[in-house]
A and B are shown apart, each in its own frame.
Chain A
Amino acid sequence: MTLLNLVNVSVRYGRLTAVRDVSIDLKEGQILFITGPNGAGKSSLLRAIAGVTPTAGGHIEFDGAEITGRAPEDIARLGFSMVPEGREVFGSLTIEENLLVGAGMHSRTAGAKGRTASDLASVYDTFPILKERRHQQAGLLSGGQQQMLVIGRALMTRPRLIAIDEPSLGLAPNITDQVYERLVALQSERKLTLLIVEQSSARAVMVGGRMILMRSGGVVLDGDARTLGNSEAVQAAYFGYEEQ
């Protein structure tokens, strides 16, 4: 079943076109990597889906509902959870408060208290370091811990899809390994759909799944990560040889 469907989506900043006519069809339970060099438009695309950057054309459907132009909070409430580039923890809030912000959208439903408590327990189970430091200010966490916090915070919204922009940014390779290990485990346990943005295709090749390569705002390649990753086409696309 298609969970996220983009049709000819474009994003413009003034006269600069950052994303040009991108169409992607993402099935429930898939892992999709969007890779590409600096300025390819990956973050712009993700922000457009989340509703924080307006689209300049095309339309976006999530779970069969049109979400183009809708408010970020409405899109989040449908089950699209975004972890933006640079993580964006609420630094002055404690770790537990950060997590609880994510639980807010379900706080009006029946049995919310118990559910929030069990969701919190399960996030702490996945990331024990967060439990240890739950009453500390989130701004004091290290980069890797912040990455775990924002993934946990996204989980608290009980999402169907998590979109993560460059989870490896600024992390040591072994910490990145840990983050990915948890992500993949969560994906298979909960039937989550993952949309992960990374600059390099190396992670996609390690983890597997589907991979899309973007360059100058457009989709250049789309296919199985392991097959694509080692092909010359990827190397070529990165450095733009195909134009010559």
Chain B
Amino acid sequence: MLQIIFDSLSLGSLYALGALGIALIFGVMRLVNFAHGDVIAFCIFALLWPSTDAMAIVFAGQLPWYLLVPLVLIVGAGLSVLCEITVFRHFRRANPATMMIASFALGFVIRYFLLMLFTSRPKSISLLPMLSQPVEIFGARLPLLQLITIVATVFILIGLSLFLRRTRFGLEMRAAAENFSMARMLGVRANRVIMGAFALSGALAGAIALIFGSQTGTADIQMGASIMLMAFIATVIGGLGSLAGAVLAGFLLGAASVVMQVMLPVDARPFRDAFVYGAVILVLLLRPQGLIAARGTKERV
């Protein structure tokens, strides 16, 4: 039982962090950023020497964790901001569909760039190996990593919410997310807010990459895509643009996946995802605006 709870929470953490990364950008730009998953993949590969071998050489692997973690977060934030400056900035006045397609294209560019350097073969890596030891809590044996994932996610969520509530930058981001053009008429700088949102979202991608990379012990170019799909669904059921909704839905999806894995009859387990998506459709039929409807349907300018 405890095992199920922890599994749900740690899977939910990944989805919640992914959904947050999407919701942050959607909030200020009305952009559904499908390149987010590829930013996640990039963060892991940034630590490897380009090679075609199955055993990757992690050049940053010797780094102690207190350097490795910030490095990956900075790589994510940096790449994400770079995407904004080189691509999305030029689509600001475009309609949401155009921006979404641009984000798809950008995702492909990142993915093929990685493919060129590393080939499509997943590589086994060992990031933070000390975290795979099990620990015993309340009689259940849990991998330390799972515990750290949950604790780290809780810290990230608390930190982000303090940042949004207590700092001037956070205030401006919230105002801009609700009504971008009004915020600008009050002197809020559009570029600064949007770049800030991209930087935060990219750092979250870095966090996911670290967690996922250490959990699976592989670096896979496809790794972002699988989380992205769930994360994207979580942002939609959470109510597009609502940060709290994205987090809540992320955890709910994590729980739904784990619980169904356990509860479904063995024959039905391969179809677990179909059941999860079925539940998603049901939620959207009942609450089309999402669990927590975001304020501010005002157009960006």
Contact = CB atoms under 8 A, between A and B. Distances in A.
B185 A90 contact: no
A-B complex: 10 closest residue pairs judged by Cβ atoms: A105-B187, A72-B184, A76-B187, A92-B295, A88-B182, A101-B175, A82-B185, A73-B184, A90-B178, A102-B186
Interface string B188-212: 1110000000000000000000000
Interface string A136-160: 0001000000000000011001000
Interface stretch (B53-61, B138-146, B166-174, B280-288): B166-174
A13 to B, nearest CB: 14
B190 A93 contact: no
Contact of B168 (A93, A107, A153): A107
Given A90-B182, A100-B171, A73 B295 contact: no
A72 B168 contact: no
A164 B207 CA distance: 45
A104 interface: yes
Contact of A73 (B175, B179, B190): B190
B181 interface: yes
Contacts of B168: 100, 104, 107
* Range class of the A interface residue count: 20 to 34
A107 B298 CA distance: 26
B187 A139 contact: no
Contact of B295 (A71, A82, A97, A139): A139
Contacts of A81: 185-186
A101 B185 contact: no
Given A90-B174, A90-B179, A93-B178, A104 B295 contact: no
Contact of B188 (A50, A73, A88, A93): A73
A223 B175 CA distance: 39
Interface residues of B, number: 21
A125 to B, nearest CB: 21
B181 A73 contact: no
Contacts of A69: none
A23 to B, nearest CB: 23
A84 B185 contact: yes
A72 B172 CA distance: 15
Contact of B171 (A91, A104, A157): A104
B157 interface: no
B301 interface: yes
Given A73-B184, A90-B174, 20 more contacts: A50-B185, A52-B185, A52-B301, A72-B184, A72-B185, A73-B189, A76-B184, A81-B185, A84-B182, A84-B185, A92-B178, A93-B178, A97-B171, A98-B175, A101-B188, A104-B172, A105-B186, A105-B187, A154-B186, A157-B186
Q: Label chain B's interface by main secondary structure.
A: helix
B201 to A, nearest CB: 20
Contacts of B182: 84, 88, 90
Interface of A: 50, 52, 71-73, 76-77, 81-82, 84, 88, 90-93, 97-98, 100-102, 104-105, 107, 139, 153-154, 157
B281 to A, nearest CB: 28
A52 B188 CA distance: 13
A73 B188 CA distance: 6
A88 B179 contact: yes
B186 A101 contact: yes
A77 B185 CA distance: 9
A71 B188 contact: no
A101 B188 CA distance: 8
A90 B175 contact: yes
Contacts of B131: none
Nearest to A108: B168
A101 B172 contact: yes
6 contacts: A71-B184, A73-B190, A76-B186, A93-B178, A101-B186, A153-B186
Contacts of A84: 182, 185
A84 B182 CA distance: 8
A154 B188 CA distance: 13
A93 B185 CA distance: 17
Contacts of A52: 181, 184-185, 301
A233 B188 CA distance: 43
B244 to A, nearest CB: 11
A91 B295 contact: yes
A104 B188 contact: yes
Greatest chain B CB density within 10 A among A50, A52, A77, A92 is at A92
